[in-house]
Structure 1
Amino acid sequence: MSGSLLFSPSVNQVLGNSPLFSGVDLSSAVVDMQAWPIRDIPAGQILLSPLRDNTELLILLEGEWVVTMTANSSRPIARITPGGCVGELSILDSQRPSSHVMVTQDSRYLVIQRDALWSFITSYPVVALNLLRVMADRTREKSALLESSLGLLHEYRMRAETDTLTGLHNRNWLMEIFPQQLDLSLRIGHPVSLMLIDVDFFKKVNDTYGHTVGDQVLQHLAAIMQGNLRSTDLLARYGGEEFAVMMPATHVNKARASAERLRRRIYESPLPLADNEAITLSISIGVAECLPGWGLDDFLKASDQALYVAKNNGRNQVQCWKNPF
């Protein structure tokens, strides 16, 4: 297009470097392009929006735009620099834009109406291929952002559901997942049991050795629990020095046997400290099997009652809930 009087030399250079016109001899396209208007728009404006119809392909000549999923998003899908274009999807599917285009710098741009674009493609078919490439690149950019966003959402969810000290699931996770597992077990008629575990004399450990060692105790116990429960058992830190384990497809007798093995394993695994010192640890466990019609609160209450008996009877033992009726 060099030498044409249609646009300024700077505009000619931008269009000549635009991916949309790759392979097109723009110097021969003056007649087709002479009706395309050039517009100005100040920074801070919304150029395209899913809330507005669009029938134009817009090519940036000066300035900068960003493409975002939402109007107030701080994470752009793409940055449009001179030579780049937007609005291509609306041209092809006659739908509203799928994204927002925000003007981040005072800009000047070239406007190609839908009918004018199709007419131009008839004369220069390579533009159709270029347009598909632009769309493919934009789709990849969106996919990368979505993948990144999903990764962040997963990370945020993991943080929200994970106890930072022990690495176990936390109470938030427990209150979401345990009711779902309980409901499933009751609906399909499978037994389900619940352990509530309390670390014996944990306050004394903190008072004697300090909270740093207390944290090490919880981490030590969490690791033992993870290594001595089934992959189907749901383990979470319930709060403080208490842990909860939901055991699907498990009657109370089997749950009690598992609890007893865990109790014994912890008692036989002292926490080593400096200077060849070690702390012998013990836990008390209350076990209950869910009855028909129970919700999670009923289940936790029964297990807690059994745990109270275990602690009241001297600790370092397993007790099962007994139905008073």
Structure 2
Amino acid sequence: MDCRVFTDELAKLSLLQGVNQADLKWLLHHCDVIHMEKDQVLLSPDEDNNTIYILMDGRLTVQFDRQRGGMLTYVDKGGWVGEMSVIDNMRPSATVMTDTKVRLLAIHASIWWELIERSHIAARNFLRAVSLRLRQDNKLITEGMQKQLIFSEKAQTDSLTGLRNRYWLEEKLPEILGAQDAGLAPCSVVMMDIDHFKDFNDRHGHLAGDSVLQNVSTVIRDNLRENDAAVRYGGEEIILVLPETNTDNADLIAQRLGRLIRENKVETYDGGVLPAVTVSIGVYTITNGDTSERVLSRVDAALYIAKNAGRDRVMVWEAS
């Protein structure tokens, strides 16, 4: 690889475009041209940096939060890195590595600032370049946050039913309990279980069972308020979180959902119609000082009472 850099190469760079030949020759006289092999670290958040590197040949990778596999982007021929460290006199915010063999023009901060003093065109180019870089970084951050939100959403959603999963509940329930202790409106929790679901699967097959779960979930989702949440807690158990809902209203909601599920037709994947299913339902309204374990234990106890009382009914947990 030819390690030399010439003024006509510099003149083609957006960072130096329009700068006169005399200033370009002066810059080359005061800079170093370096080359590096593939997979070498150029900049690191662990090391100080006082140099702007212009990439004359090859490609660099830029990775934010490298240890945790953060966002990765590339710098191609004609691009540059290190300018933010030169501006704010802080360590780099990302790890920059060589993705190929590279040839770099290394410009020390003192030399760069002197060039800015010598050339108003260089100053204008630099201002535009930093502005574009900030826009690009903001775009990457925004895209990264959006992807993280999507991944987080998928990680907390049950793939079969589209309902939240128990990991969401485990994360959300302590927040709900904290709000309850702060004196906000009561929140009720409902737990329902599809009656005789194992027997249904044995008679009609697991694909039919999946159809039932999806159908019941759709009925629930279509008949909840915007702030309510439905969670597939495990198997055929579904938990509803009903903010700003006292015991009486939670009982009414549960009774209505039980009736809608009982009356709803369940179609198979091939268009057939399956027997209707029913659900047993327990209701518990959170009180001050409750823990997640106590809430789940009490609503489960109410569900157990509903099953023992003949199923296809709603039972509200009451303190003995």
Alignment pair present for 1:321 and 2:314:
no
TM-score of the pair, normalised by structure 1: 0.89
Letter in 1 for 2:88: D
**1:3 — aligned with what?**
none
Deviations 1:83-138 (A, max 9, x none): 32222122222222222221222222222222222222222111111112222232
TM-score of the pair, normalised by structure 2: 0.90
Letter in 1 for 2:299: S
Alignment pair present for 1:144 and 2:127:
no
Distance across 1 between alignment mates of 2:264 and 2:49:
69
Q: Aligned-pair distance for 1:252?
A: 1.5
Question: What is the aligned-residue identity percentage?
Answer: 33
Moved more, 30-39 or 263-272: 30-39
Which structure 2 segments of 5+ residues have no match? none
Letter in 2 for 1:293: G
Change (3 A) 1:133 1:271: same
Deviations 1:184-215 (A, max 9, x none): 12321532222110101111211111111100
Letter in 2 for 1:312: N
Equivalent of residue 63 in structure 1, options 26, 43, 58? 58
Which structure 1 segments of 5+ residues have no match? 1-6
**1:88 — aligned with what?**
83
Give the number of aligned pairs: 316
Letter in 2 for 1:288: Y
Q: Aligned-pair distance for 1:242?
A: 0.6
**1:297 — aligned with what?**
293
Change (3 A) 1:41 1:304: same
**2:188 — aligned with what?**
193
SS of 1:167 mapped into structure 2: coil
**1:123 — aligned with what?**
118
The answer to whether the Cα contact below 8 Å between 1:89 and 1:97 also exists between their aligned partners in 2 is yes
Distance across 2 between alignment mates of 1:68 and 1:191:
46
Change (3 A) 1:290 1:23: same
Change (3 A) 1:142 1:29: closer
Distance across 1 between alignment mates of 2:96 and 2:227:
48
Aligned CA RMSD, in angstroms, stands at: 2.2
Distance across 1 between alignment mates of 2:134 and 2:102:
24
Change (3 A) 1:98 1:275: closer
Q: Aligned-pair distance for 1:18?
A: 0.9
Structural mapping, 1:107-118, within 5 Å: 107-118=102-113
The answer to whether the Cα contact below 8 Å between 1:77 and 1:142 also exists between their aligned partners in 2 is no
Distance across 1 between alignment mates of 2:318 and 2:26:
92
Alignment pair present for 1:36 and 2:38:
no
Distance across 2 between alignment mates of 1:277 and 1:289:
36
State the structure with more CA Rg: 1
Distance across 2 between alignment mates of 1:88 and 1:317:
68
Deviations 1:219-269 (A, max 9, x none): 100011112222232221111001111222222122111111111111111
